């Protein structure tokens, strides 16, 4: 049966915080520093409403943590604090202030960055991005969707960042999995839905009501400038989306081509090129087909960037994902002239850094090329990696010199 949820964390649940009892395996997980407890590790959560703030206790009733509870997700418990929480709203406001202060320390050369990265900012289930004067957010859990919590984080973000507008981005699949009422993307404050932002001196368009994910791929910001350092000659940006890599490479190269299968993405990429007065050739194509055709023509590029979508969305897809990465990297290597640069990325959490390196090593062996690793990189620092929560580290970006 489908339920529509309007309650979640309410004032009354704050007064008498209910307790979720968990089995030893879940308790050990929390003690190991992780912040999730799976439903199969829950011993008793009878009568606890969706999205409630709960105390988490072991089988004997010993307090372990304060957490948000979901009645629907396989991740039943997401730890909020290792201490009892008496005033949730004050805690949320403090976490937002801390997240913003962290960005002030680690983010530079941009007015677009991730302001809140869910578990890694101790705000499980909330993603907030800033694009110049616009904020975009996504809620991933029952608790973050409850009225009290939404009102609290929206008010705090507004006070601290004074955006012209705030847009909510809805992923219908996530709302369905969390048994949340189906919502739609749109502005929740202000009137403005598009803007331009700047990163590393490159200007880019942002439309809060279009695009994939929460807009641009902000996690690649530091990798764009790293790749640009080595760029020269003729460059190919495969899976270019709005042209993030291509536009960073353009000032250093004689020619740049961006490839993507999405026409709307390429239209924005073309507008971005115009905004920066750059000439980039955009090709709408399936990257696998295009690379196969180009590889048959032999080495012709000095830089190839590969930044495909996540091939492994679950562990089950790992083998086929690795085959996909192998094929792409193999073909990219065939395209590169001696002395060329390969920038190869994977945003699949399930593909470990070691497995990804191994795929590239395998590809290099097959095509008899020597690769020297110039940089072994990950996501930009506004997407913090929380140690003991491996799921917060997902992006891999390797830069090789190919001979
Ligand atoms: N490099 C980009 C982000 C890439 S996201 C940046 O820095 O902003 C992955 C992109 O791959 C998306 O734009 C998607 O449209 C594109 N894509 C997915 N499958 C594809 C395929 N088979 N061939 C070409 N592009 C594809």
Q: What is the pLDDT of residue 345?
A: 98
d(CA 391, CA 394): 7
The C-alpha angle 181, 187, 188, rounded to 5 degrees, equals: 70
Two domains, one topology: 19-81 and 89-196: no
| Residue 222 CB–ligand 1 contact under 6 Å | no
Domain ranges of the chain: 19-81, 89-196, 217-402
Measure 325 CA to ligand 1 centroid, in angstroms. Answer: 13
Q: Tell me what pLDDT residue 7 has.
A: 46
State the DSSP code for 218.
G
Give per-residue pLDDT as tens, 210-262: 755 557 899 999 999 999 999 999 999 999 999 999 999 999 999 999 999 99
Catalytic site positions: 347
Parallel, antiparallel or unpaired: strands 19-22 and 53-57? parallel
Give the CATH architecture of domain 19-81. Roll (2.30)
- The predicted pLDDT at position 15 comes to 55
**Binding site membership of 262 for ligand 1 (Cβ less than 6 Å):** yes
In this prediction, what percent of the chain has a pLDDT beyond 90? Answer: 90
Determine what percent of the chain is predicted with pLDDT higher than 70. 95
- What tens digit of pLDDT does each residue of 392-401 get? 999 999 999 9
Confidence (pLDDT) at 211: 55
Residue with CA closest to ligand 1 atom 5: 309
Closest residue by Cα to residue 269 from 248, 242, 232:
242
Considering only the top CATH level, what class is 217-402? alpha beta
At the topology level, CATH places domain 89-196 in Transcription Regulator spoIIAA (3.30.750)
| pLDDT beyond 90 at 25 | yes
What is the rounded average pLDDT of the residues 91-100?
98
Mutational test site, ligand 1, from 239, 250, 259, 287, max ligand atoms within 8 Å of CB: 239
- Whether the per-residue pLDDT at 379 is higher than 90: the answer is yes
pLDDT for 245:
98
Distance 218 CA to ligand 1 centre (A): 14
| CB-based contact 287:239 (threshold 8 Å) | yes
Least confident segment among 168-182, 283-297, 337-351: 168-182
- pLDDT, residue 13, reads 45
Which residue lies with its CA nearest to atom 20 of ligand 1?
261
- What is the mean predicted confidence (pLDDT) over 300-314? 94
Expressed in angstroms and rounded, the spacing between residue 261 Cα and the centre of ligand 1 is 7
């Amino acid at each position: 049966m489908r339920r529509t949820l309007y309650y979640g964390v309410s004032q009354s649940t704050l007064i008498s915080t209910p307790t979720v009892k968990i089995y030893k395996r879940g308790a050990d997980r929390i003690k190991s520093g992780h912040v999730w407890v799976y439903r199969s590790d829950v011993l008793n959560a009878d009568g606890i409403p969706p999205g409630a703030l709960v105390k988490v206790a072991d089988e004997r009733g010993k307090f372990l943590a304060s957490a948000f509870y979901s009645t629907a997700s396989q991740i039943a418990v997401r730890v909020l604090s290792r201490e009892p929480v008496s005033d949730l709203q004050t805690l949320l406001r403090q976490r937002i202030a801390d997240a913003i202060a962290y960005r002030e320390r680690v983010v530079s050369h941009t007015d677009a960055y991730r302001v809140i990265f869910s578990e890694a900012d101790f705000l499980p289930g909330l993603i907030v991005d800033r694009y110049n004067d616009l904020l975009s957010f996504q809620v991933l859990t029952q608790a973050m969707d409850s009225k009290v919590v939404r009102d609290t984080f929206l008010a705090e973000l507004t006070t601290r960042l004074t955006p012209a507008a705030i847009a909510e981005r809805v992923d219908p699949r996530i709302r369905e999995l969390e048994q949340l009422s189906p919502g739609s993307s749109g502005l929740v404050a202000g009137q403005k839905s598009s803007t331009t932002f700047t990163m590393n001196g490159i200007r880019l368009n942002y439309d809060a009501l279009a695009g994939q994910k929460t807009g641009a791929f902000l996690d690649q910001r530091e990798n764009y400038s790293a790749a640009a350092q080595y760029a020269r000659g003729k460059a190919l940006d495969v899976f270019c989306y709005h042209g993030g890599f291509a536009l960073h490479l353009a000032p250093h190269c004689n020619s740049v081509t961006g490839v993507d299968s999405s026409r709307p993405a390429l239209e924005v990429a073309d507008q971005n090129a115009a905004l920066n007065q750059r000439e980039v050739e955009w090709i709408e194509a399936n990257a696998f087909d295009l690379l196969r055709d180009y590889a048959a023509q032999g080495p012709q590029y000095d830089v190839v960037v590969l930044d495909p979508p996540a091939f492994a969305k679950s562990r089950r897809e790992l083998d086929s994902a690795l085959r996909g990465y192998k094929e792409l990297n193999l073909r990219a290597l065939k395209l590169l002239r001696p002395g060329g640069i390969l920038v190869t990325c994977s945003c699949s959490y399930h593909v470990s850094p070691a497995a990804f390196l191994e795929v590239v090593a395998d590809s290099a062996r097959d095509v008899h090329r020597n690769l020297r690793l110039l940089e072994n990189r990950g996501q930009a620092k506004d997407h913090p990696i929380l140690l003991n929560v491996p799921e917060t580290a997902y992006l891999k970006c390797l830069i090789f010199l190919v001979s």
